[in-house]
Structure 1
């Protein structure tokens, strides 16, 4: 690590120390939790934190007030985005003495979603991020290449990016010229780097390197973390070949944080039991499935005492590792299936970046749900679910036409509900065009 990067690292921990060392305390707490070798000892560590959350819920929110006689977490109902939105004021712990932080997500299924978090929760998320980044091989202070769709809501100022040593790379810019320029620059930059981003973006870069018959690059990249989408074995293998760094997949969401992450030497996902309780429930009923069976991923966020996320249905499906040979072992996630979407194609035949459509949700907050459908090569439909009169129809179609093609034929359909898949997820995009 060069001198400037070391200074960034020291500056972060010094500022944290001046504020009471909260992040450091949580970081050490995570280290202690994951030093447990048995699940029962880990659960014992969780008990007082979980009990505080549940007690706060039943005595401080109208929604949970009828659960005062609960005996365990399983006595609480399973909730999802729609239930939380419909009961937001009944659920949220309003406290005039505490400054709650709003957190918004575009919703992987086209439904905008907002909750509140406490400052305490934000601190825990920071510690989670640093801890799991370290497990992947990244050290605070090193340059971080961040490849994603940089909607205005997420974009950071140049000053903040410089202090955090983060380079914001937009997946929508990944044409051959941009990719070549980026890779040339990374090879000239000798500083240690970490890389985090969408697997679809990594795929575009690797496909370019395949086409030019490239050999492994000298970019001094030490860690690669894939987010937001599933990481295929092919992309993982190519990234490790071209950039000579371990590549892992991270399972997280905006409303909670880091839920699980692969380790460099393990394809299963280490669950963040330090900050969450994870259950796998049947696709149709709120009962546990057997280890190894696919079900709905249900998360209880132990540290959010603003809008509680108790037995929250993430909308994702997955399975625990079936580890019957080692009793009392700490459960891992064997598989995770996240966002459900089809690729849409522009009128010129190029694929539209699937995350482009998620940015629309921020531009049209009056829409409850959005869905984009491709019927033919140049014929598209946008389904809109809204409770109010939608006056921005022209703006929506113009924006989509600008992304999909000026010669696109676009129809707006108004619906009361966008149907979900059997898993409970809704696709934000569907391609019905046979070609």
Structure 2
């Protein structure tokens, strides 16, 4: 209806899938050279960034950051493309650097061909399968109605996630009793809360909604114990996806449990602090090239995450061994030590959630030695729990850090409903 060439995109995507492993490195090199040459010739913004209109060595190209893209979209579009002729959207801003981006319609159709292919691994057909969607939604009248219409056309029923009280989750449960959902898709933290609600009521979702096949979680970190809880309460496979709205699905858990990187429409590099590739098995910054977006350059684009590629990776099947977190989610400690914010989350999570009292929590660094934990729970944390958390932090991080605990009715989420689990306010 919107003019995206899906039929052609599926044909093109199938052609890429058919490229044999031995020819795949050549395909990647050819495609990344073609897209870079196109932007060096047709995109003034990218020409200025590179400083010339030709390149010899891939690793000499600059690494593009989100701050580079925080300027009017019209100044970043390639020649022959205008805001009205392309797909335009904006990032969520969960990284702290939101911006508006664009894709040409062919590239965006290819993105959807990629998504449809991966969901197909689990028997999900976008034209027929009914989705239970745990997402945010615009609250203005027109925006709200527009999303509901899109959900109707897209075979989805949306549960807005701004209110995750037991009263609301009871209403969600009623929908699962009465609707034949094929799969669940949405933000990790919201779906985890639903699983905890089911656990408390001793309900297994597959028993009341037998049509369910799979659950895909996205946008937030998935912890192993949360995955096990969801598998237990839902009775279906839990699939972890990693993507970015400005790019595509970056990695998607395949039926073997591997986090398979999208090598069809993207080229992923792991770089060190000098922008040089690190060997597979070593951690570094995740930098991605969109191989088909002609409207807007995403060439060697630093997405703001840190990760590790598996040693078994091949050009056709790269495997993301570990996603460590965002580069800006780092705590600076009095000793000078830098620690990923998720370290705090892991330490406190294991202690706080032992008895199921705490539903969810976030950690904020307010000073170099001071942190605040905002949490939602049925009862206040006990002095013993707080002491246990402090001891674990002394052991895993360093002694002398001060923590304040704030019990809340709800936690603050982004406008899209995401929960940012660690926030540094330094």
Q: Normalised by the size of structure 2, how large is the TM-score? A: 0.71
2:384 aligns with: none
Q: Residue by residue, what CA displacement relative to the aligned partner does 1:195-222 show, whole Å, maximum 9, x if unpaired?
A: 1111111211121122223345321211
Deviation at 1:58, TM superposition (A): 1.2
Q: Residue by residue, what CA displacement relative to the aligned partner does 1:114-146 show, whole Å, maximum 9, x if unpaired?
A: 122211222112212211211233112211111
> Counterparts of 1:192 and 1:427 in 2: how far apart (Å)?
29
* 2:40–2:54 Cα contact (<8 Å) kept: no
> Counterparts of 1:122 and 1:292 in 2: how far apart (Å)?
31
State the Cα RMSD in Å: 3.6
> Counterparts of 1:351 and 1:259 in 2: how far apart (Å)?
29
Q: Residue by residue, what CA displacement relative to the aligned partner does 1:269-304 show, whole Å, maximum 9, x if unpaired?
A: 11111111100001x220111111111110001121
1:211 aligns with: 200
Question: Secondary structure at 1:136's aligned position in 2?
Answer: coil
> Counterparts of 1:136 and 1:72 in 2: how far apart (Å)?
40
Structure 1 segments (4+ residues) deviating >6 Å: 349-354, 371-378
1:73 aligns with: 58
1:161 aligns with: 151
2:7 is aligned, of 15, 19, 24, to 24
Deviation at 1:310, TM superposition (A): 0.4
Question: Secondary structure at 2:121's aligned position in 1?
Answer: helix
* 2:9–2:106 Cα contact (<8 Å) kept: no
Deviation at 1:428, TM superposition (A): 7.4
Q: Residue by residue, what CA displacement relative to the aligned partner does 1:52-79 show, whole Å, maximum 9, x if unpaired?
A: 3111111122344334331243231101
Deviation at 1:105, TM superposition (A): 1.5
- Taking a change above 3 Å as real, the CA distance of residues 115 and 186 of structure 1, as seen in their structure-2 partners, is same
2:230 aligns with: 239
* 2:186–2:218 Cα contact (<8 Å) kept: yes
Question: Secondary structure at 1:109's aligned position in 2?
Answer: coil
2:36 is aligned, of 54, 69, 83, to 54
* 1:230–1:249 Cα contact (<8 Å) kept: no
The more displaced of 27-36 and 272-281 is 27-36
Q: Residue by residue, what CA displacement relative to the aligned partner does 1:346-389 show, whole Å, maximum 9, x if unpaired?
A: xxx987887xxxxxxxxxxxxxxxx99997689xxxxxxxxxxx
> Counterparts of 1:328 and 1:257 in 2: how far apart (Å)?
18
Alignment gaps of 5+ in structure 2: 330-340, 346-356, 375-407, 413-419
Deviation at 1:235, TM superposition (A): 2.1
2:170 aligns with: 180
> Counterparts of 1:36 and 1:317 in 2: how far apart (Å)?
29
2:246 aligns with: 255
2:93 is aligned, of 107, 113, 122, to 107
> Counterparts of 1:197 and 1:332 in 2: how far apart (Å)?
23
1:139 aligns with: 125
2:106 aligns with: 120
* 2:204–2:234 Cα contact (<8 Å) kept: no
1:92 aligns with: 77
Alignment gaps of 5+ in structure 1: 1-14, 344-348, 355-370, 379-403, 409-425
* 2:265–2:290 Cα contact (<8 Å) kept: yes
1:385 aligns with: none
* 1:247–1:264 Cα contact (<8 Å) kept: no
Q: Residue by residue, what CA displacement relative to the aligned partner does 1:136-183 show, whole Å, maximum 9, x if unpaired?
A: 331122111111222459854433321211111122222112222322
Q: Residue by residue, what CA displacement relative to the aligned partner does 1:206-251 show, whole Å, maximum 9, x if unpaired?
A: 2112222334532121121110012222222222222222211111
> Counterparts of 1:377 and 1:128 in 2: how far apart (Å)?
39
- Taking a change above 3 Å as real, the CA distance of residues 248 and 351 of structure 1, as seen in their structure-2 partners, is closer
Deviation at 1:335, TM superposition (A): 1.1
Residue 426 (structure 2) pairs with residue 429 (structure 1): no
1:277 aligns with: 267
- Taking a change above 3 Å as real, the CA distance of residues 79 and 206 of structure 1, as seen in their structure-2 partners, is same
> Counterparts of 2:425 and 2:66 in 1: how far apart (Å)?
25
Q: Size of the alignment, in residue pairs?
A: 348
Question: Secondary structure at 2:114's aligned position in 1?
Answer: helix
Question: Secondary structure at 2:85's aligned position in 1?
Answer: coil
Deviation at 1:334, TM superposition (A): 0.8
* 1:230–1:337 Cα contact (<8 Å) kept: no
Q: Normalised by the size of structure 1, how large is the TM-score? A: 0.69
- Taking a change above 3 Å as real, the CA distance of residues 125 and 353 of structure 1, as seen in their structure-2 partners, is farther
